[in-house]
């Protein structure tokens, strides 16, 4: 019989070439092949897991903070439109500027169909270039107009002051060509104050430095010629009675703004602050003190209040149109006047009918996105 293999016996070829082997040690080649297969399977599994993690279906959904609503947040840039006399945007003069979400205008997605409040603030006796064309004299007004909107061809409807106040609130100058007191011009015609009351709303006039409600004579810095409600007596004295109740000193304004704001508010600064007797800079400082209180109020931030600052004469007059949906920086070249302001206010407050010349006047709503 041949002798049994010893521990030093070697096997040529294969994975054990040149190595001593023992038959009792198993099969090293099989062991290594299994190990390699396990490594390959592990790598394949790892690649599958990585692919699954990067799949679009496994990515996290955007958070609320990363979603931009086109109706609640302004776009990165908003076109500033200059409007022609026909009311159509002029493509050749349209520019694009950035908007500031925290500004007074442009933060609402769309203008309300009906406003809860419209506020007029009347200034005096300056042209557009003297105010909005002079940043040194009127830094606040120029800044506010650039944040909101203005029309460069806004015109008076009479002269001197009183016919403009009467025209803006009744649709006609009623034949008035002077600044005489209410005793010389008692008016029974329909008017914006009566219109608002008849529609179920409320109206109020706030006259700086007026000594008593519905004061019918001038005194100190108060000018009755700048207080149109005092001229309307109405049928059976109804307008005069309403004037005594609703035409009050400007000291009542802060309380109105904090929770009792009328549907329509007419604000007249005194003869100095409205720039009738004092400088443009004086009026600018007064507006810089009072207008931010309105724009920062809860009622304005609710999105259903508009403010229009306008001068009585001389053409072309300065004006600033302020509203939550007004596009910042809008400059409109279409001609407007006080009758257009009346029509626009009637529309914004959904009042039935149009008074006098307001029926044929253009509306500011579309050009200014009111």
**Residues of the chain above pLDDT 70, percent:** 75
**Residue 60 confidence (pLDDT):** 37
d(CA 276, CA 293): 23
Residues of the chain short of pLDDT 50, as ranges, are 1-25, 55-101
d(CA 246, CA 205): 6
**Residue 49 confidence (pLDDT):** 65
DSSP secondary-structure letter at 130?
H
Tokens of 140: 């606040």
The highest-level CATH class for domain 81-368 is alpha beta
End-to-end CA distance of the chain: 117
Which residues, 6+ apart, have CB-to-CB distance to 365 below 8 Å?
111, 344, 347, 348
CB 132 within 8 A of CB 141: yes
To the nearest 10 degrees (0 to 180), the angle between helices 161-170 and 338-348 is 30
Pairing of strands 117-123, 264-268: parallel
Question: How many CB atoms neighbour CB 301 within 10 A?
Answer: 14
**Residue 32 confidence (pLDDT):** 72
Q: What is the pLDDT of residues 13-29, one digit of tens each?
A: 444 444 444 444 455 66
d(CA 354, CA 195): 9
Tokens of 109: 């997605």
């Amino acid at each position: 019989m041949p002798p049994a293999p010893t521990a030093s016996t070697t096997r040529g070829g294969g994975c054990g070439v040149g190595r001593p082997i023992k038959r009792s040690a198993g099969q090293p080649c099989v062991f290594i092949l299994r190990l390699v297969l396990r490594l390959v399977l592990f790598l394949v599994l790892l690649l599958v897991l990585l692919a699954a993690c990067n799949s679009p279906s496994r990515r996290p959904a955007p958070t609320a903070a990363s979603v931009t609503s086109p109706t609640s947040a302004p776009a990165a840039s908003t076109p500033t439109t200059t409007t022609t006399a026909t009311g159509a945007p002029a493509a050749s003069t349209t520019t694009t500027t950035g908007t500031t979400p925290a500004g007074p205008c442009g933060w609402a997605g769309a203008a309300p169909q009906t406003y809860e409040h419209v506020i007029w603030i009347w200034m005096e006796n300056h042209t557009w270039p003297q105010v909005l064309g002079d940043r040194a004299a009127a830094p606040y007004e120029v800044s506010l107009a650039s944040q909101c909107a203005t029309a460069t061809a806004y015109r008076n409807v009479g002269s001197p002051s009183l016919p403009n106040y009467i025209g803006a609130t009744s649709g006609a100058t009623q034949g008035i060509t002077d600044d005489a007191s209410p005793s010389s011009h008692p008016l029974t015609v329909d008017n914006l104050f009566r219109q608002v009351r008849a529609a179920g709303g409320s109206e109020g006039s706030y006259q700086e430095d007026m000594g008593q409600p519905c004061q019918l004579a001038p005194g100190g810095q108060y000018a009755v010629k700048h207080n149109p409600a005092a001229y309307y007596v109405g049928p059976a004295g109804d307008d005069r009675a309403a004037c005594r109740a609703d035409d009050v000193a400007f000291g009542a304004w802060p309380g109105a703004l904090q929770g009792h704001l009328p549907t329509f508010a007419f604000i007249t600064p005194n003869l100095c602050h409205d720039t009738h007797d004092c400088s443009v800079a004086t009026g600018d400082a007064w507006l810089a003190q009072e207008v931010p209180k309105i724009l920062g109020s809860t009622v304005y931030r609710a999105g259903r209040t508009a403010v229009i600052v306008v001068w009585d004469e001389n053409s072309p007059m300065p004006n600033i149109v302020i509203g939550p949906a007004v596009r910042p920086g809008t400059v409109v070249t279409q001609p407007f006047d006080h009758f257009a302001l009346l029509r626009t206010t009637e529309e914004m407050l959904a009042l039935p009918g149009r008074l006098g010349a307001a029926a044929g006047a253009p509306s500011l709503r579309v050009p200014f996105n009111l």
